[in-house]
């Protein structure tokens, strides 16, 4: 690889950059973005990513609904969000340009594939005059590049057809970006070697296209400056790049090992949760049983069956699937069996926005079942936190014999960050012991502290018993319709979930421990709130931030903490669900700050809210 630079070029060291690749769904933007991400992460930058793609697999090529994008924020300092505005935008066609250019910073770098700006391409994007010619791009540093032609020229000796050559143009663009940020291409080389193991021609073509892109920048002197972003100062350790869905999958495998129980996953394919099923189905050598059920209800009920049999059972879904599972979750509550239900939230109602993020299923998780049917609810704050939340959810489920809901979302699921690989010997141990002693066994006899009933699995001699969804008598578990017994059982089930508060650490606000304003968040808003708080506190305001990982039960000291600030604001990607809960439970005049656009909060939006509230 040629790395020597022309002496006239400048290499500038900067702290951070935000880059976005956008193009048609078929242009390979997600792969391009992931490759760039992996390379900068391995180099040691802190990162946050935001893949944003349409629900259609391939909308008509070149049209606005077909635009797919991948945004990466990488820096030598801490990164909390994928970035509000973009420093570098790579647009593969007019539709992508039209949909994304508004996010490009003034004077930002704009790389455009000019080969896709013919009249027909413009028409597909519903543009009459080419933005390359109408002066609308004046505020940016425009680099028009004939990506398709240049890629074909680079690959002309490989004997590939035009279509196959054109499929490599994203790697030409990737090569350009590697030059722009002075990054080595070897990690992507390794990726290609592995990905196209059986198709050496494609390995060669993509590598060649990438190198051609790199050399193009080198040779044409189109770019006068390249950039260097030094590694971030992360705590020492081994790191990998991880997204939320992968982290959940790994967390469940870890929980299986730490509990000593085989993992069972019953799931039905649904965006954006399917990747958890894909991942876990690869981990069978860990004793993982994955079951692709006939529907969401069977996914849930098969998990109940497996839990009844003594497995660590989970199911994974998104909002619409969650709605279908609700009756069965009620059964799991009634029979008091441990399992974990993951809802990777997306925009709704109904099918809604399958590939876009939202946090509007909190009420569904808390109150979506018939009758009084509480469950513990947990929410991870970052992609890497998904690993720890999976472990925590399993630990609580097994200790309290209760189904536990995890609320992740599309943004956490697909967004990536560097993740410090934990030392396996330091993971919490929660080995499970089944009941085997027939002496004094009663199906609904409870542990005095956790109120958990004993887990007696089929096959255990002398413990034959019946469970079911009908109300049962306390202790014996026999079917029972007596009024006072029912009331007692309702209270017992609620008390058991309330007892989980023993596992919930008191909250310690980030930022100021008291003062003018407290942000209370949950889930994927963590990054935006944290980043905004850092910049606003630098300006002398007294602001705190509590980010809830346990949404039911809530931390014991939360009410006290809420009272230490003059104002409480709750940013949520919904119409105000947690804020409703806080107002009801703590009689606090908390204010909602809501965004329901299928997109995560921007740092600047939270900052503007701070300005507004503290004006």
- DSSP designation for 388: H
Instruction: Output 34 or 552, the one with its CB closest to another protein.
Output: 34
Strand runs labelled E in 285-385: 289-292, 312-317, 339-345, 377-378
In the complex, the smallest distance separating the C-beta of residue 357 from another protein, rounded to whole angstroms, is 24
Q: How far apart are CA 103 and CA 19, in angstroms?
A: 11
In the complex, the smallest distance separating the C-beta of residue 154 from another protein, rounded to whole angstroms, is 26
Measuring CA to CA, which residue among 454, 484, 164 is closest to residue 335? 454
Does residue 272 have a cis peptide bond before it, meaning omega lies within 30 degrees of 0?
A: yes
Instruction: Output 142 or 289, the one with its CB closest to another protein.
Output: 289
Instruction: Output 45 or 357, the one with its CB closest to another protein.
Output: 45
Site for another protein in 147-186 (CB under 8 A): none
Q: How far apart are CA 600 and CA 574, in angstroms?
A: 11
Site for another protein in 535-594 (CB under 8 A): none
Measuring CA to CA, which residue among 541, 579, 557 is closest to residue 508? 557
In the complex, the smallest distance separating the C-beta of residue 269 from another protein, rounded to whole angstroms, is 15
Q: Determine the length of the chain.
A: 615
**Binding string, 459-498, against another protein, x = CB under 8 A?**
xxxxxxxxxxxx-------xx-------------------
Instruction: Output 420 or 599, the one with its CB closest to another protein.
Output: 420
Instruction: Output 148 or 246, the one with its CB closest to another protein.
Output: 246
Instruction: Output 319 or 330, the one with its CB closest to another protein.
Output: 330
In the complex, the smallest distance separating the C-beta of residue 222 from another protein, rounded to whole angstroms, is 30
Residue with tokens 């925009």: 347
Site for another protein in 266-305 (CB under 8 A): 266, 283-289, 291, 293-295, 297-298, 301-305
Q: Determine the 3-state secondary structure of 389 from DSSP.
A: helix
Measured CA distances, 593 to 521, 529, 531, 567, 612 (Å): 10, 12, 16, 12, 11
For the beta sheet containing 141-145, the strands, ordered from the edge strand earlier in sequence to the opposite edge, are 46-52, 67-75, 16-24, 86-91, 104-113, 141-145
In the complex, the smallest distance separating the C-beta of residue 333 from another protein, rounded to whole angstroms, is 12
In the complex, the smallest distance separating the C-beta of residue 556 from another protein, rounded to whole angstroms, is 32
In the complex, the smallest distance separating the C-beta of residue 39 from another protein, rounded to whole angstroms, is 9
Using the contact rule CB under 8 A, the part of the chain among 250-258, 350-358, 483-491, 523-531 near another protein is 250-258
Instruction: Output 144 or 262, the one with its CB closest to another protein.
Output: 262
Instruction: Output 315 or 525, the one with its CB closest to another protein.
Output: 315
**Binding string, 60-99, against another protein, x = CB under 8 A?**
----------------------------------------
Instruction: Output 460 or 557, the one with its CB closest to another protein.
Output: 460
If binding means CB under 8 A, how many residues of this protein chain bind another protein?
73
In the complex, the smallest distance separating the C-beta of residue 400 from another protein, rounded to whole angstroms, is 20
Binding of another protein at residue 444 (CB under 8 A)?
A: no
Q: Exactly one of 55, 61, 64, 187 binds another protein (CB under 8 A); which one?
A: 187
Residue 509 token pair: 């606000």
Q: Exactly one of 53, 74, 223, 264 binds another protein (CB under 8 A); which one?
A: 264
Measuring CA to CA, which residue among 585, 594, 593 is closest to residue 517? 593
Q: What element of type H or E holds 264?
A: strand 263-267
In the complex, the smallest distance separating the C-beta of residue 262 from another protein, rounded to whole angstroms, is 7
Instruction: Output 260 or 513, the one with its CB closest to another protein.
Output: 260
- Do 598 and 357 touch, CB atoms closer than 8 A? yes
Enumerate the β-bridge partners of residue 567: 517
Q: How far apart are CA 386 and CA 393, in angstroms?
A: 10
Q: Determine the 3-state secondary structure of 490 from DSSP.
A: helix
Residue 181 token pair: 């940020």
Q: How far is CA 409 from the centre of its chain?
A: 6
Site for another protein in 191-220 (CB under 8 A): none
Site for another protein in 1-60 (CB under 8 A): 38, 41-44
In the complex, the smallest distance separating the C-beta of residue 372 from another protein, rounded to whole angstroms, is 17
In the complex, the smallest distance separating the C-beta of residue 314 from another protein, rounded to whole angstroms, is 11
Instruction: Output 297 or 614, the one with its CB closest to another protein.
Output: 297
Site for another protein in 317-346 (CB under 8 A): 327-328, 330-331, 335
In the complex, the smallest distance separating the C-beta of residue 502 from another protein, rounded to whole angstroms, is 27
Q: Determine the 3-state secondary structure of 86 from DSSP.
A: strand
For the beta sheet containing 565-572, the strands, ordered from the edge strand earlier in sequence to the opposite edge, are 510-511, 543-548, 515-522, 565-572, 591-594
Instruction: Output 136 or 460, the one with its CB closest to another protein.
Output: 460
Enumerate the β-bridge partners of residue 339: 313, 403
Instruction: Output 55 or 187, the one with its CB closest to another protein.
Output: 187
Instruction: Output 320 or 352, the one with its CB closest to another protein.
Output: 320
In the complex, the smallest distance separating the C-beta of residue 45 from another protein, rounded to whole angstroms, is 10
Residue 329 token pair: 């979750």
Residue 523: CA count within 13 A, CB half-sphere: 29
- Do 14 and 226 touch, CB atoms closer than 8 A? no
Using the contact rule CB under 8 A, the part of the chain among 205-213, 227-235, 359-367, 575-583 near another protein is 227-235
Site for another protein in 117-146 (CB under 8 A): none
In the complex, the smallest distance separating the C-beta of residue 234 from another protein, rounded to whole angstroms, is 5
Q: How far is CA 153 from the centre of its chain?
A: 39
CA torsion, ordered 353, 71, 279, 389, to nearest 10 deg? -80
Q: How far apart are CA 495 and CA 502, in angstroms?
A: 12
Q: Exactly one of 7, 159, 235, 538 binds another protein (CB under 8 A); which one?
A: 235
Site for another protein in 384-443 (CB under 8 A): 421-424
Q: What is the bridge-based pairing of β-strands 515-522 and 565-572?
A: parallel
């Amino acid at each position: 690889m040629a790395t020597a630079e022309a002496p006239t070029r400048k290499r500038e060291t900067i702290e951070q950059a935000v880059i976005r690749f956008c193009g048609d769904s078929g242009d390979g933007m997600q792969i391009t973005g992931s490759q760039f991400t992996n390379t900068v992460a391995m180099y040691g930058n802190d990162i946050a990513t935001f893949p944003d793609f349409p629900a259609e697999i391939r909308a008509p090529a070149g049209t606005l609904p077909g635009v797919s994008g991948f945004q990466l924020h990488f820096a030598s300092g801490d990164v909390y969000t994928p970035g509000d505005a973009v420093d570098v935008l790579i647009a593969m066609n007019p539709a992508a340009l039209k949909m994304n250019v508004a996010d490009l910073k003034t004077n930002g770098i704009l790389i455009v594939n000019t080969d896709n700006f013919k009249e027909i391409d413009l028409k597909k994007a519903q543009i009459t005059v080419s933005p390359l010619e109408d002066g609308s791009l004046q505020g940016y540093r425009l680099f028009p590049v004939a990506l398709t032609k240049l890629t074909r020229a680079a690959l002309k000796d490989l004997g590939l057809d035009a279509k196959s050559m054109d499929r490599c143009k994203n790697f030409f663009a990737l090569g350009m970006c590697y030059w722009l940020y002075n990054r080595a291409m070897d990690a992507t080389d390794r990726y290609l070697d592995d990905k196209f193991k059986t198709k050496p021609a494609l390995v060669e073509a993509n590598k060649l296209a990438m190198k051609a892109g790199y050399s193009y920048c080198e040779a044409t002197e189109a770019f006068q400056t390249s950039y260097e972003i030094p590694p971030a100062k992360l705590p020492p350790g081994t790191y990998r790049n991880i997204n939320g869905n992968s982290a959940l999958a790994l967390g469940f495998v870890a929980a299986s090992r730490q509990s000593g129980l085989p993992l069972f996953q019953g799931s039905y394919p649904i965006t954006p949760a399917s990747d958890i099923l894909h991942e876990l189905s690869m981990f069978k050598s860990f004793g993982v049983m994955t079951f692709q059920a006939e529907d969401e209800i069977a996914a849930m009920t098969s998990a109940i069956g497996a839990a009844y049999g003594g497995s660590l059972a989970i199911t994974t879904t998104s909002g619409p699937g969650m709605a279908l599972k609700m009756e069965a979750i009620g059964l799991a509550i009634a029979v008091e069996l441990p399992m974990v239900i993951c809802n990777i939230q997306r925009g709704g109602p109904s099918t809604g926005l399958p590939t876009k993020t939202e946090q509007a299923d909190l009420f569904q998780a808390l109150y979506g079942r018939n009758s009084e049917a509480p469950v513990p609810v947990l929410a991870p704050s970052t992609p890497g936190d998904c690993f720890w939340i999976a472990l925590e959810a399993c630990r609580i489920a097994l200790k309290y014999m209760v189904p536990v809901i995890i609320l992740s979302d599309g943004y956490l699921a697909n967004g990536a960050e560097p993740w410090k690989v934990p030392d396996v010997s330091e993971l919490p141990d929660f080995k499970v012991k089944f009941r085997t002693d027939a002496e004094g066994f009663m199906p609904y006899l409870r542990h005095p502290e956790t109120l958990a009933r004993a887990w007696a699995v089929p096959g255990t001699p002398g413990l034959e018993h019946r469970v079911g969804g009908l109300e049962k008598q306390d202790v014996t578990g026999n079917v029972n319709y007596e009024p006072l017994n029912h009331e007692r059982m309702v209270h017992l089930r609620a008390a058991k979930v309330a007892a989980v508060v023993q596992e919930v650490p008191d909250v310690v606000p980030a930022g100021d421990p008291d003062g003018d304003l407290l942000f209370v968040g949950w889930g994927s808003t963590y990054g935006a709130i944290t980043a905004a708080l850092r910049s606003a506190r630098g300006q002398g305001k007294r602001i705190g931030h509590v980010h809830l990982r346990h949404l039911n039960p809530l931390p014991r000291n939360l009410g006290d903490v809420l009272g230490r600030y003059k104002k409480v604001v709750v940013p949520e990607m919904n119409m105000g669900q947690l804020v409703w809960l806080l107002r009801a439970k703590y009689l606090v005049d908390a204010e909602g700050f809501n965004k329901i656009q299928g997109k995560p909060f921007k740092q600047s939006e939270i900052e503007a809210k701070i300005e507004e509230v503290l004006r």
